[in-house]
Amino acid sequence: MKPTQDHIEISDMIMSMMGVDRFAYIRPISDNGEMGYAVYAADGTPLAIFESMDAASASVRKHNLTPVKIH
């Protein structure tokens, strides 16, 4: 795919240099009507689901990552 102004491909090496491998994203989710918080790696890989934002953030920090909220 040829990069356009709206779509620019960034290599894994460049992303790593930018520190993307140090972030985890936390997003509120609803599973069968129950609220939870999903944690994703920076590349979008699902990692875990927690009952609270505090638990999700604590787990992310425990693994030396910086939590980023997605709403």
**Model confidence over 8-34: pLDDT tens digits?**
555 555 555 555 568 888 999 997 888
Residues 6+ apart with CB under 8 A from 71: 27, 28
Region of 32 (left: φ > 0; alpha: ψ -120 to 50; beta: rest) is: left
pLDDT for position 23: 85
Q: Is residue 32 part of a domain?
A: yes
Q: Are 5 and 23 in contact (CB under 8 A)?
A: no
- Can you give the pTM of this predicted structure? 0.68
Residue 2 has pLDDT above 80, yes or no: no
pLDDT for position 7: 52
pLDDT for position 57: 92
**Structural domain range at position 32:** 22-69
Q: Residue 23 is encoded by which pair of tokens? A: 């972030």
Q: Is residue 11 part of a domain?
A: no
Instruction: Give ∠ CA 30-22-27 in degrees, rounded to 5.
Output: 10
Q: Is residue 5 part of a domain?
A: no
Q: How many domains does the structure of the chain reveal? A: 1
